[in-house]
Amino acid sequence: MEQLEQNIVVTLCKFEKIFPPGFFDSMEHLPAHLAYEAKVGGHVQYRWMYPFERFLNHLKKKVKNRAHVEASIVEAYLLEETSTFCSLYFDQYIQTRLNLC
């Protein structure tokens, strides 16, 4: 990892000789920190945020009242949870979210 960290810095310096300064933004600076992040954080699956971002996207879709965003999400979430719980007690021939094939 130390060798990779040194090689990235040298490669970025070589890029600065070739490309104009307008080419560089924060994304070209990012690889300089990747080796350090891999050493400190370990495997990426232990700090992957994708499942949480997917769930937040699911919650954002529930917003109906933009004046009270949090209350709107809570209300829609409670409605979904309540209806799912109540559907457990319906007869089997009634279609619900839980028994759809």
For the segment 16-37, the average pLDDT, to the nearest whole number, is 85
pTM (whole model) above 0.95: no
CA distances 45 to 4, 24, 48, 51, 62, Å, are: 21, 29, 5, 11, 28
Q: What percent of the chain has pLDDT over 70?
A: 99
The percent helix, strand, coil of the chain (3-state, each to 5) is: 70, 0, 30
For Cα atoms 72, 76, 78, give the angle at the middle one, nearest 5 degrees: 115
pLDDT score for 14: 92
- Calpha distance 24→35 (Å, rounded): 20
For 60-91, write each residue's pLDDT tens digit: 999 999 999 999 999 999 999 999 999 989 88
Q: Of 50, 40, 77, 4, nearest to 12 (Cα)?
A: 4
